[in-house]
A and B are shown apart, each in its own frame.
Chain A
Amino acid sequence: MSDNQLLEVIEHYINGEMSNDERARFEILRNENPDVNNLVNEHKHFTGLIKQYGERLELEKRLDAIHDEIDVYTLKEELMIHPSWIVQLWRTHHSKISVAASIAIFAVLCTMFFTGYLNNREINYVKLRGEVTQLKRKTDLLNNKFNNLNSPVKKNNNPGKFRGTGFAISSNGYIVTDYHVINNADSVYVQSADGKSYRTKVIYSEPQTDIAILEINDPSFKGLGAIPYDFKKSESDIGENVFTIGYPRDVMVLGPGFLTASSGFNGDTTQYQVSTPVDFGNSGGPLLDSKGNIIGIINARETHMVGAAFAVKSNYLLKTIQDIPADSLKETLSLNNKNVLAGLSRVQQIKKLQNYVFMVRVYNQ
């Protein structure tokens, strides 16, 4: 019996189209032969599935037909709960609105962060040591390395990483500048207005007031002559005519102005606020009043305000000088207390001053 015929017999059997006789014989066959039995069950199951499919399709058709009779649109209008349009807007778009809002907040925070709005001290307030053209330095370094490939002789033409200003406090070569100028320095040189450069050593520094004392220890140094200015011990008053000189560029630059506040950034009482124009490189420069007394040391400015510079008060300088341990001093540090600038015009004052104000060059790796 072929499979085809067997299936036909099975179908007859399942549909009950057999005579009793046939049926009895088939049941015997089914009992004896498990393969046939399996075939019968399988076929029953599968045709059942086909029937189910058919019924379901039929039912869906009927349901669709019924559904088509319903006026869904009017029903919908009746049953829909109509919240106010703003609630609806929120409900349909709330995820998009939330995302947009988060992005907006994030963007605002980012902008605030990168524009420095969030940390006002660090960014609004910059210390004024000049960073000498990084790019040029890097190129030089690269050139150096390149040249060194051929010649083993090492050439150092490093122009100095940072620059500031300093001024003499005694004729035997003690110079004051800002601590932040010489901070992390490997070596510090000073260069006078006539172009001579001397090696110096940091002998004392006070980070709290941002003051550092240097000593010229260069064999070519021959002494400075009498210092023309003296140091004011008392505080100066607001409105006083002041000026500073310093090396924001390669030449000395005068910065005239007024003393505008008796405290510095964020109410720092160790400093004055002055309205002189200053730039990077002015740090450590002397602040003098019209009579030629040193009243402070330029150290920083506010970035968000034009003409707001800060200077450490001279009485802190005097205190620092007193605090220098005696064994750090090779020679006696005797402060000048004779002011020869008092009656002179500004032009004359500066002529006398310029030899005592130095450009400070700082080298580090």
Chain B
Amino acid sequence: MSKESNSGIPSDNEVILGILNNSESVLKRLYLAYFPMVLQLIINNNGNTDDAKDIYQEAIIILYNKVKTGNFELSSKLKTYIYSICRRLWLKRLSQMNKYGGDIKDFQEYLAVDDETEKNNERDLQFNKMGNALQLLGEPCKTIIEDFYINNRSMQEICENFGYTNADNAKTQKYKCLQRLKKLFFQQK
């Protein structure tokens, strides 16, 4: 990779490859490249900088998930795509806050991207549910589950961290924790 491509606006292909490879630097460059555009959209349409951050990050996560699931086909410039998603999300947010006056000031061209934000809603819901369930689960279960399933730690390590006398105890504990988490997760509406 040339030195030049490590700074400035990354090309669309670079971004997609970068996301697939979990590249930190590409993500950073992507983020820096388009944030001003979104900030401009939102602060000039009744929003503040925190709204811009929220909306932009949501859009990046949508893009990220879409690329990761492997069915991402870019039908326009990435810039237009991100702008369209942010625009759509912001319109939704405005009407939720009853601030939508019927017109929005645009700074870029955009596409219709309804169903993608809808799909993301589903994911958001599950994300929030899981977050709540983990909060309700409490310690030490939360950490055990996180360590094992998210951080991919081995049972041996977990056993040492929590001072269990043998791995079987830890496993029983983990099993109980998982059952409770499932219950908490599915109980939520």
Interface residue ranges, A against B (CB under 8 Å): 3-4, 7-8, 46-47, 49-56, 59-60, 62-64, 66-67, 69-70, 72-73, 75-76, 78-81
Contacts and interface: CB of A to CB of B under 8 A. Distances in A.
Interface residues of B, number: 37
B49 A56 contact: no
Contact of A54 (B35, B123, B126, B146): B146
Interface stretch (B38-46, B89-97, B157-165): B38-46
Given A66-B27, A67-B57, A79 B44 contact: yes
Contacts of B150: 50-51, 53-55
Interface string B118-129: 000001001100
A363 B171 CA distance: 103
Interface of B: 24, 27-28, 31-32, 35-36, 39-40, 43-44, 49, 52-53, 57, 60-61, 64, 105, 123, 126-127, 130-131, 134, 145-146, 149-151, 171-172, 175, 178, 181-182, 185
A79 B149 CA distance: 43
Contacts of A70: 32, 35
B44 A81 contact: yes
A54 B24 contact: no
Nearest to B168: A4
A50 B149 contact: yes
Given A4-B175, A49-B185, 15 more contacts: A47-B149, A52-B130, A53-B130, A53-B134, A54-B146, A55-B150, A62-B27, A72-B49, A72-B53, A73-B49, A76-B43, A79-B43, A79-B44, A80-B43, A81-B44
A72 B39 contact: yes
| Top 8 A-B pairs, shortest CB-CB distance | A54-B150, A79-B40, A53-B130, A50-B149, A66-B31, A4-B175, A72-B49, A63-B57
Nearest to B64: A59
13 contacts: A8-B171, A46-B182, A50-B145, A50-B149, A50-B181, A52-B130, A54-B149, A60-B61, A63-B60, A66-B31, A67-B57, A78-B36, A81-B44
Contacts of A63: 27, 31, 57, 60-61
Given A7-B175, A46-B182, A66-B31, A76 B39 contact: yes
A52 B127 contact: yes
B36 A75 contact: yes
Contacts of A46: 182, 185
Contacts of A54: 146, 149-151
Contacts of A3: 175
B44 A67 contact: no
